[in-house]
Structure 1
C-alpha cells in the first residue's frame, strides 16, 4: 500500500478536526447526513454527467490504484537494456528472441516486448520510433483522462457544498419565527460547504494528482524502453546505452545518485 496516500488523507482530516476540537468545538457538530448526501451525491452525479459510464465504472479501481504502491522501474529497465546490448553485440540481435519468453521481460511494460520484437524483425529505426511514440502518447492520454475524473470531482465538490449551504439557509430563513434556533441551524447549513471544500482539497484533487504522477512515471518508463530499443537497433556500445538511458532518471538527486552507483556496480559485476 502507498502509505503517503493513506497518511496524507488521515493527517489532512485529522488536523482539521483536531484544530476544531482545540478551539472548543464538538466533533458531533460536524456530522451532517443531509450535507454529506448533497455533496457526495451531487459531486458523483456531476462527474457521471461529464464522463462516459465506461469511464465512471473505473473509479473504484482507480481509487485502489491511488492507494497501491508502485515505485518506478527506471534503473531496472536501464540495467536490463545494458544486458540486452551486451548480448546483442556478442551474439547478434537474433539472440534476443529467447528473451521474449523470459520471466524478466514480464516485469516491465508490454511495450518492451513489442519493441524487442520490432528490433529482432529488423524494422527501420524511424518506423519503431514513430509507431511507439504514437502508442506512448495514446496510452499516456488515457491515463491522464482517468486522473481528470478526480480533478473534475474536485471542481464540482466545493460548488455542491455551496449549494447545500444555500439550501440550508433557505430552510433557516423559512423559520425566522424561532430566533433561538437560528444559530445552530446556520451552523448546520455551513457544514455542506465544509464537506465540499475539504473533500475537494483532501481527497479528489490529491488523488487526481497522484494518478497524474503515476502516469508520468509510466510514460518515462516507456520512453526509456523506446530509447533503449533504438539503441539496440543501432548497435550502440553498452556503456553508451547506459549513459544515454540514465539521463531519463529524474528522481531526487541523493536517491538517484545512490541507486545509479548501485546499478553501475551491479553492471560492472555482471561484466566481470
Structure 2
C-alpha cells in the first residue's frame, strides 16, 4: 500500500481540525450528523446518477490504483527485458516461453507470448498499442468518478448550509440560539469543501499520476518487446530502453511545466 496517499489525507484532516482547535473550537462543533448526511449522501446520489452501474463497479479498482504501491520500477523492467534478450539471442525466441510466462507483468507476458508464437512485428505493435490506449482510457474513467464527486461535494455543502439557514431563519423566537445555529448550518459547507479538496480531487489526481506511470512502463515494455523480437544485442537493448525511459521522464516533466505555465497565465 502506498502510504503517501493515506498520510496526505490524514495530514490534511489533522491540519484542519488542529487549526480549528487552536482557535478555541471544540471537536463536537465539527460533528454534525445532518450536515454529513446531506453532503456525503447527496454527493453519493449525484455520482450514482452521473455514471452507469458498469462504471461504478470500477470504484474498488480505482481505490486500489490510488492507494496501491507501484509494482515495478522502469529500471527493473529494463533488466527483465535485457535478460530476455540474452535468452533470445542465445537459445532463440522459443526459449522465452517459460521465463516470460512467469513474469508478474501481464502486458509483458502477453507481448512475449505473441513473439514466441511468431506473430508479425507490426501486428504485435498494433495489438500492444491498443492495449496501452485501453489502459489509458480505463484510468481516465477511474479519475472522472472522483473528479465528479469533488465537484458535487462543495455544491452539496452549500445546499446543506442554505437548508440550515432556512431552518434558523424560520425559528427566531430565541435570538440567543441564532449564532450557534448559523455555525451548525455552515458545517455543511465545511464538509463539502474539505472532502473535495482533501479526499476526492487529490485521489483523482493520484490516479492520473498512476496512469502516467503505467503508460510509461507499457510504452517502455513495447519498445523492449519489439527489440527482443528483432534480435537486437542486449547491450543495445539496455541503452535504447534506458534512453527511452530518460526521454519519457523528461518529456512528461516538460509537459507538466507547460501545463502549469498555461494555468498561471
Classify the TM-score, shorter chain: 0.7 to 0.9
1:161 maps to 2:157: yes
Which residue is equivalent to 2:177? 181
Deviations 1:76-108 (A, max 9, x none): 21101111111211222222223244x3x1x11
Distance 1:49 1:175, change over 3 A: same
Find the partner of 2:167 among 160, 168, 171. 171
1:94 and 1:72 map into 2 onto residues whose CA distance is 25
Instruction: Tell me whether 143-152 or 112-121 shows the greater mean CA deviation.
Output: 112-121
Partner of 2:81: 81
Whether the aligned pair in 2 keeps the contact of 1:72 and 1:217 (CA below 8 Å) is: no
**Unmatched runs of 5 consecutive residues or more in structure 2:** 251-265
Residue deviations 1:191-246 (CA, integer Å, cap 9, x gap): 00000000000011111111222222221221111110111122211111111111
Between the two proteins, the alignment pairs up a number of residues equal to 249
Aligned alpha-carbon RMSD (Å): 1.9
Measure, in 1, the Cα distance between the counterparts of 2:200 and 2:137: 19
Superposition pairs of residues 26-175 of structure 1, within 5 angstroms: 26-101=26-101, 103=102, 105=103, 107-108=104-105, 110-175=106-171
Structure 1 counterpart of 2:195: 199
Equivalent residues of 1:224, 1:248 under 8 A apart: yes
Kindly provide the CA deviation profile for residues 247-269 of structure 1, in whole angstroms up to 9, marking residues without a partner as x: 3436999xxxxxxxxxxxxxxxx
**SS in structure 1 at match of 2:70:** coil
Aligned partners of 1:228 and 1:245 also within 8 Å = yes
Q: Which residue of 2 is the match for residue 218 of structure 1?
A: 214
What residue number does 1:2 align with? Answer: 2
Residues 153 and 124 (structure 1), Cα distance of their counterparts in 2 relative to 1, 3 Å cut: same
- TM-score normalised over the length of structure 2: 0.88
Q: CA deviation at 1:68?
A: 2.5
- Per the TM alignment, residue 57 of structure 1 is displaced from its structure 2 partner at its CA by 2.9
| CA distance in structure 2 between the aligned counterparts of 1:248 and 1:148, rounded to whole angstroms | 30
Query: Structure 1 stretch 177-186 or stretch 194-203: which is displaced more?
Result: 177-186
Q: 2:261 — aligned with what?
A: none
Partner of 2:257: none
